[in-house]
Structure 1
Amino acid sequence: MGDDRCELLCIDFDHAEGLRTALPPADELTQRAERLRALGDPTRLRIAHALHVGDELCVCDLAWIVGSSQGLVSHHLRQLRSAGLVDSRRDGKLVMYRLNTTGHRLLDAAVGTVVEGEPA
């Protein structure tokens, strides 16, 4: 038997059942996993960091900041928006992006970001 398994079946039913029933619903966990997965790509993580510090940026600025093409950055922004981490708004011919509250909180929790000048 592997080191990662109990050699004896000894379920503490009351404790285990209490924890099992306290878990969030499967669809909520799926959404959380999608959000975490969205930050799992290095380019998307760089974009999220840039938006965390830069507040609101257009695709042109983000492409320059992260060193990728506008097309690639747009693709990653769509994924971040789909995951519910980024909001966008049109400003004339520009589309401006910003991390929403969920995006800021998840980025902070996932990687412990601290913006210069903010208390740690």
Structure 2
Amino acid sequence: MNDDRCELLCVDAPRAEAIREKLLTEKKAQEAAGRARALSDPTRLTLAAALGEAGELCVCDLSWIAGRGQGLVSHHLRVLRSLGLVRSRREGKMVMYSLTERGASLLSAVLGEEIGV
């Protein structure tokens, strides 16, 4: 006997089908899983948390905060930006980063605390 499984096949087909129709498509599930995996990397999580705390930071500040080189930080920020979790803007010779609403929501779920955008 396995405590993780039903001993009897008792599918409520109409209810189960109605729920299945409301769930994510395979493509949307893959995209959401990709975003979740993005914050499973400790460096990217640190960068996102710093942006959640500060609102907006340049690559130099993020590099200092994370204790990582600017090249590595830029790489991780590109990953986060490609997944729609951060946005960037150029201010003169600096590139400023901030969390998107989606990024703040995901960070909040991962950290278990509310994050402002």
- Relative to the length of structure 1, the TM-score reads 0.87
Give the SS at the match of 1:90.
strand
- Structure 2: gaps spanning 5 or more residues: none
Which residue of 1 is the match for residue 13 of structure 2?
13
CA distance in 1, matches of 2:41, 2:2: 32
1:110 to 2:102 alignment: no
CA distance in 2, matches of 1:15, 1:111: 33
CA distance in 2, matches of 1:11, 1:17: 10
Which residue of 1 is the match for residue 47 of structure 2?
47
Which residue of 2 is the match for residue 85 of structure 1?
85
CA distance in 2, matches of 1:99, 1:114: 13
- Structure 1: gaps spanning 5 or more residues: none
Seen in structure 2, the aligned counterparts of structure 1 residues 9 and 114 have a Cα distance that, compared at 3 Å, is closer
Which residue of 2 is the match for residue 72 of structure 1?
72
CA distance in 2, matches of 1:67, 1:59: 12
Q: Aligned-pair distance for 1:8?
A: 2.4
Give the SS at the match of 1:35.
helix
Give the SS at the match of 1:96.
strand
CA distance in 2, matches of 1:114, 1:20: 30
- Relative to the length of structure 2, the TM-score reads 0.89
Which residue of 1 is the match for residue 27 of structure 2?
27
Which residue of 2 is the match for residue 94 of structure 1?
94
Runs of 4+ in 1 over 4 A off after TM superposition: none
Give the SS at the match of 2:53.
helix
Number of corresponding residues: 116
Deviations 1:88-111 (A, max 9, x none): 011111111110111111111222
Identical aligned pairs, as a percentage?
A: 57
Deviations 1:24-74 (A, max 9, x none): 222222211111111111110100000001111111100100111111111
